[in-house]
A and B are shown apart, each in its own frame.
Chain A
Amino acid sequence: MGTVTIDIDGQSYEAETGSMIIEVADDAGLHIPRFCYHKKLSVAANCRMCLVDVTNLPKAVPACATPVADGMKILTRSEKALMAQKSVMEFLLINHPLDCPICDQGGECELQDVAMGYGNDISRFTEGKRVVKDKDIGPLIETDMTRCIHCTRCVRFGTEVVGLREMGATGRGEHMEIGTFVETSLSSEVAGNIIDLCPVGALTAKPSKFQARAWEMQSTTSIAPHDCLGTNIAVHHRRGQVIRVVPHENESINEVWISDRDRFSYQALSARNRLTTPMIKRDGQWQKVDWEQALQFTIEQLKLVKEHHGAEGIGALASPSSTTEELYLLQALMRGIDSHNIDHRLRQIDFSTQHDDPMFPKIDFSIADLDDMDATFLVAADLRNEQPIASLRLRKSTRYGRVMALAPFANHENFRVAPYIQAAASELVEHLHKITAALVAQQKGSVSASLTELFVDIKPDPDHETIANELRINERACIIVGQTALEHSLSGHIKWLCRTISRLSDSAYGELSHGANSAGAYLAGALPHRAAVGVESKVSGWTTQQMLQKGLPAYLLLNTEPELDSSYRESARKSLSQAEFIVSLTPFAGGEMMDYCSVLLPVAAFSETSGTFVNVEGNWQSFRAAVSAKGEARPAWKVLRVLGNLLDVAGFDFTSSEQVRDKLKQRLEATTDAHVGHLHNPEQLDFGGELPKPLNLYDTDSLVRRSACLQQTPIALQNWRREQILSLSQFDTGTLIPIKEVNHA
């Protein structure tokens, strides 16, 4: 592609052939008003707001749909352009209700801004305006379709970005309406993005409806706490209360989108089941106590357990969405009292190959690379249900590339997947054997004898050959091991097979791990067999499985409800209820923790604490607290630091979470000889295996479980343990403690 020289408002610019005037202007920082144009969507050119004056053309032309040509002279503020802009603005406002004082978009409305900047002072329209009935499109998005200016951004988003077309323009002319036609909840897991796309107040966020005006809110950038991509978000808050969450643009991770889970989980922050004071259970009764009492009691109990059962009697389980700082301090605390029983791998079942794990689970490519993959092989990766934004990015690759999959569930991606091998959990490894066998056969000679021996008798089917071939012949190829695969009872074998396939086909390898910070948890050493920065632990502690199946006298829980979070629901229930002492650092009360815990320490939830998440690319992203924690809750890293001090563990003199992070970072940089991530061929192939019941998209951590709006979506309605999750939200902390002392936010 060559370049041309064009002239905008007397200034000359180099532009790529084929680009539109508006793109060149945007790059140059010149603002041309627009409604329907959006850089991530196709050009519709239906709002006409971006009309500009091009010399030698008789009429003003839309900048979004006019390609540049060499020598083109464009005037954005000539009399012709200004006239055109004024006229279009007048037309757009004909049917607009101008109810800005009661509109949630008021103050951040593109229509307001553009009308102010480019419109006329008065309207000549005196006739009646049309009214469009509002549609109920679900619990997340409020509609006020009279305000709609028919830019069709929401329609194009569904068609082009999501691949699930739910919105459309029905009717004709004066009767045209944007909507779903048949009243129905939007079923997409990224539908909330149309709130940001809507340039007017037709589509606004339902949970924050009438909660705050745009100019009253402060914005703090943060990192979404639910999946391993590390989606960049902005938390909007007013007077210490989070009002809403919106995307923060990061082209290399989430572009301009976020998933509904990241957008609406904040609603749990002001739920009445927040824990706002430390509590101790005495004689089966929960009592409100002050921090000193609670910490003192905790220390005494832990010391008692250590005395009777040894330090190994104490185990720690942490949410994989905890911050790196919290996880680092937690493991330092545990190792400081001589227990190596610490784990964050709550969903994992197979720990047999944990010593072969790399430094941390990651993808050997960047998230942005997904856009341009020529061949992608998904291994039990349910992207829409696990990392929705990854699904949007991978969908883009299907323009030219090919996506293939092996999974124990039916395909519900919004793009073509071929071949799609759907197989029972117990047959997954056999299919991977066959794909590996196809590659071994294709690379005869260059494969080691021991590997050849393993696969010699395995005959691949045509689908396996296709997958092997595509991965091998395409330069941009990758194999993605999904969360479901990591939960398999032969996940170690699956990971070995996939890494072997990756090596033999010379394609990139990636694991999409659980929670927001599995990578950080590995680096911080929240593992029984490895301390921080991959240092192999001399004593191998108990894994999640051992802790929950064999049972321990005491547990320390960091923002986790093991009976819900882990794959060991029944045994977790049993082990926890039989323990002598359990302390939970939790932002919420309610559920089974009220029965099995002895102490509840209130800790800051998402957006209330500073910290760092390491995403699946190995990208360290730190964030500040947007608001302070509710009531007497404190950031978990501070609570852990105090526990460390009270237990006389050395090296707990941090005064900020940044110091914790920097310490870990320094240690990581100094590590040159981490002996991790070696591939050991097994002596024989494994067969069979099983999977735990999968978690619903809106049942993955304590925050989403308590977000009322997410629990009303069609996706949550399909949750197999919906009743149990709903009962969590019904819990009211106020009933446990005198009402006057409850901190109502």
Chain B
Amino acid sequence: MMTSNAPTTTTSPISAEDVKPLTELISAAAIAEIEHWRGKYPPERKRPPIIAALKIVQKEHNNYLDETVMNALAVYLDVPPIAVYEVATFYTMYNLKPVGEHVISVCTNLSCMMCGAKDVVKQLTERLNIGLGETTADGKITLVEVECMAACGGAPMLEVGEVFHENLTPEKIDAILQTLGWEDNHG
């Protein structure tokens, strides 16, 4: 959205003093990883590394993001906090609430929906006894609905962690739940 009309420096409405430094919130290895991504862009382009950095921060922070870590990242990358919130709320790969040990992301976008995503969701909600966006009582599994993950060729599909499962059938879904250690008596 920026054009040559506008000076590029945009300051942040939060002051660094009010925010716990990112270096105290995540490991040194994770900071190094963020720096690796940051190094790929020109120094005056501060927003591109947000996507990668958020993934790294999320991994370090029990697989979810909250205001504390997002503000810390904003200060760390020297961008306004809203720029971080915008990215974090846009992509479904970021969890904005605490999640279970495993996150099952079911695509319900066009291709998957036409190939039976509704049935996939039905089977999962029934077997896990939770709704979309919820976590099982034992904190084991979170079920979320996501937009297209570019695997339309294998619709319907879902993702567990970072692994795609395509061409889903009821049997395949049961098998996935079994590998996650899910028994129906859980909930």
Contact = CB atoms under 8 A, between A and B. Distances in A.
Given A166-B80, A173-B147, A160 B86 contact: no
Interface in B1-46: 1-7, 9-13
B6 A414 contact: no
B1 A152 contact: yes
A169 interface: yes
Contact of A170 (B6, B12, B89): B89
B109 to A, nearest CB: 10
Given A152-B1, A160-B2, A164-B13, A170 B7 contact: no
A42 B80 contact: no
A166 B83 CA distance: 9
Contacts, number: 84
B67 interface: yes
Nearest to A172: B90
B52 interface: no
Given A170-B89, A172-B89, A173-B147, A163 B7 contact: yes
A165 B80 contact: yes
A122 to B, nearest CB: 29
Interface string A163-179: 11111111111000000
A181 B13 contact: no
Contacts of A188: 13
B75 to A, nearest CB: 14
A396 interface: yes
Interface string B65-94: 001000000000000111101100111000
A24 B132 CA distance: 51
Interface in A166-204: 166-173, 180-182, 184, 186-188
A416 B9 contact: yes
Nearest to A152: B1
A182 B90 CA distance: 15
A483 to B, nearest CB: 22
A491 B35 CA distance: 48
Nearest to A171: B89
Given A42-B3, A152-B1, A163 B147 contact: no
A168 B86 contact: yes
A171 B147 CA distance: 12
Interface residues of B, number: 23
A398 interface: yes
A652 to B, nearest CB: 52
B10 A163 contact: yes
A374 to B, nearest CB: 14
Contacts of A156: 1
Contact of A166 (B2, B6, B82, B89): B82
Tell me which of B1, B3, B91 has the highest count of chain A C-beta atoms within 10 A of its own C-beta.
Answer: B1
A187 B13 contact: yes
B interface SS class: loop
Nearest to A398: B7
A186 B83 CA distance: 16
A160 B5 contact: yes
Contact of B82 (A42, A165, A415): A165
B13 A166 contact: yes
Contact of A42 (B5, B13, B85, B90): B5
A181 B85 contact: yes
A43 B86 contact: no
A237 interface: no
A648 to B, nearest CB: 59
B82 A44 contact: no
Given A167-B82, A182-B81, A159 B1 contact: yes
Nearest to B67: A182
A399 interface: yes
A434 interface: no
Nearest to A188: B13
Contacts of A169: 86
Nearest to B90: A172
A395 interface: yes
Interface string B135-174: 0000000000001000000000000000000000000000
B10 A44 contact: no
Nearest to A175: B89
Contacts of A167: 82
Nearest to B91: A172
A42 B2 contact: yes
A163 B7 CA distance: 8
Contact of A414 (B4, B11, B85): B11
A396 B80 contact: no
Given A166-B80, A188-B13, 18 more contacts: A42-B2, A43-B3, A44-B1, A152-B1, A159-B1, A163-B7, A164-B11, A164-B80, A165-B10, A165-B13, A166-B82, A168-B80, A170-B85, A172-B147, A186-B13, A187-B13, A396-B7, A398-B9
20 contacts: A43-B3, A152-B1, A156-B1, A159-B2, A160-B3, A160-B5, A164-B13, A165-B80, A165-B82, A166-B13, A166-B82, A168-B86, A170-B85, A181-B81, A181-B85, A181-B89, A186-B13, A399-B5, A399-B7, A414-B11
Interface of B: 1-7, 9-13, 67, 80-83, 85-86, 89-91, 147
Interface of A: 42-44, 152, 155-156, 159-161, 163-173, 180-182, 184, 186-188, 395-396, 398-399, 414-416
Q: 6 closest Cβ contacts across the A-B interface?
A: A168-B82, A160-B6, A42-B3, A165-B80, A170-B89, A181-B85
